[in-house]
Amino acid sequence: MKQIDLSELGLGQRQVHWNLTTPLLYEETIRHQQGWLGQDGQLIVNTGKFTGRSPNDKFFIDEPGCHDLVDWGKVNKPLASEKFEGLWKRVQAYLKDRELFVLDCYAGADPDYRLPFRVITEDAWHNLFAKTMFIEGTPEELETHVPEYTVVNVPNFHADPAIDGTASSTFILVNFARKLILIGGTSYAGEIKKSIFTLLNYLLPQKGVLGMHCSANVGQDGTCALFFGLSGTGKTTLSADPERPLIGDDEHGWSDNGIFNFEGGCYAKMIRLSRSAEPEIWAAAHSFGTVLENVVFDPETRALDLDSEELTENTRAAYPISLLSNVVSEGRGPHPKQIILLTADAFGVLPPVARLTPEQAMYHFLSGYTAKLAGTERGVTEPQATFSTCFGAPFMVLHPTVYANLLGERIQRHDVTCWLVNTGWTGGQYGVGNRMPIAHTRALVHAILDGQLDGVDYKTDPIFGVAVPQSAPGVPASVLNPRESWADKAAYDQQAQKLAKLFAANFKQFEAKVGPAILQAGPKVGVTV
């Protein structure tokens, strides 16, 4: 216990649990009956009815300092300052006589852009989640730690939409003027992680730094690769390569200094995780210090059932990146030489790998097409085609072209080769075809990073305009050309045109903001194969 002054937050000067060690946070979680000890020393928790993010419940406080910067719309919704203040006063009253767990930590491995912040939670395990996911300071650094922002997490407090102006009793409120983020009405810990990512995507571009929803690793030759993609497309799986040290699995910045991880942990999906296919992640998920969300287990032996989706498809493990054996400990890397845009194509018409021009890379980055996979968000029970700008629309606060222009400038300046990799369906659309074998995807990624696709023949896809390699180690030629993998070629043509039209309709929102070269880099509607 440490005496810590929270009076600036209106919480008074009181005793709180401040920067507890992992074992002590375990003890507090179990003492409060908020979690269970797993067979291998994990902490297992249940997040209740919220097993994914609640994007419709996130609001930004509309105030003069951010009003002209935020890209207001369906994703970035405004809330009046007076509504925030009213809700905040009730949260303060709610916390008056409760135990609090306080963590001081950092986001951003690059010291030039590192953000010190504080996480205050009413549940011990949420504090452990934050301790696991973010960057811990040294004891000396923590003595002088001054948080620039504070996250207050109160899952058991519920808003009143009629009074507070929220969409429901759940709320994620970001107040740039107050430098305060309030999260309530949900126990899903991913809201803490993504609120900080959202914050960095607001702050860093104003300093000329690109925030990215991507994983990153480094080859034996020192070259860096980035993997963009939404949840479930393979960012974590494909970047965890025994031959390439991992910088990070989810969120990074790209500054003039190079690439840097925002976090100090990983947040991997556990459903049907295979020990043989993903040994590094499997081992981390079976280690002390890992927080398992909504993973089914035997109540007596505490052995895990990773195949069960009884609670949710979106089972998760939060673990320190140090549990992986092959990582870049400093969380930083050079400017990338390869960028891979991952998509899970539910239509089954995109090639498993294609080389992109810089203009095509910007087009697909702005489009952010994939299939939204079951469980990642509430209400999603099967894959749905979706477009998520910058492969992370819920977390991009500024106009999408701000991020796209930063990306395009860096691609040109550092001579980066860009690729589109489809980890989705082949041989037919979802429900007809099959999911792309992970072995094929791994082989294609290795071929990209090892330069084995540099000298092969390419064919331009007549609809999507991308350059498709006609041979690749370990992958049949019929798989490389998706139309050939379909038994019904007419059905393929119909689905390809359907997807091309969806791309074109989605991209209309950017027509006034991008140049003609990017506009012409998209799929060709009406082309006959």
By annotation, the residues acting in catalysis are 53, 194, 213, 231, 235-236, 250, 316
The phi and psi torsions of 295 (rounded to 5 degrees) equal -85, 130
Sort strands 336-343 and 224-228 into parallel, antiparallel or unpaired: parallel
Beta bridge partner(s), residue 227: 215, 340
Distances (CA, A) of 104 to 100, 132, 308, 428: 13, 12, 35, 50
Amino acid residing at 134: F
Q: How far apart are CA 469 and CA 477, in angstroms?
A: 9
For the chain, what is the radius of gyration of the CA atoms? 23
Name 253's Cβ contacts closer than 8 Å, sequence gap at least 6: 108, 110, 113, 200, 204, 209, 210, 211, 212, 259, 260, 262
- Quickly list DSSP for 87-145: HHHHHHHHTTTS--EEEEEEE-SSTTS-EEEEEEESSHHHHHHHHHHSBPPPHHHHHT-
Residues 6+ apart with CB under 8 A from 154: 91, 94, 95, 121, 122, 182, 183, 184
Q: CB atoms < 10 A from the CB of 93, how many?
A: 11
Residue type, 81: S
d(Cα 182, Cα 314) in Å, to the nearest integer? 24
Report, in this order, helix, strand and coil percent for the chain, each rounded to 5. 30, 25, 45
Quick check: helix, strand or coil at residue 213? strand
Contacts of 294 (CB under 8 A, 6+ apart): 45, 46, 47, 51, 311, 312, 314, 315, 316
- Helix (H/G/I), strand (E/B), else coil: 490: helix
> Using CA atoms, how far apart are residues 37 and 43, in angstroms rounded to an integer?
5
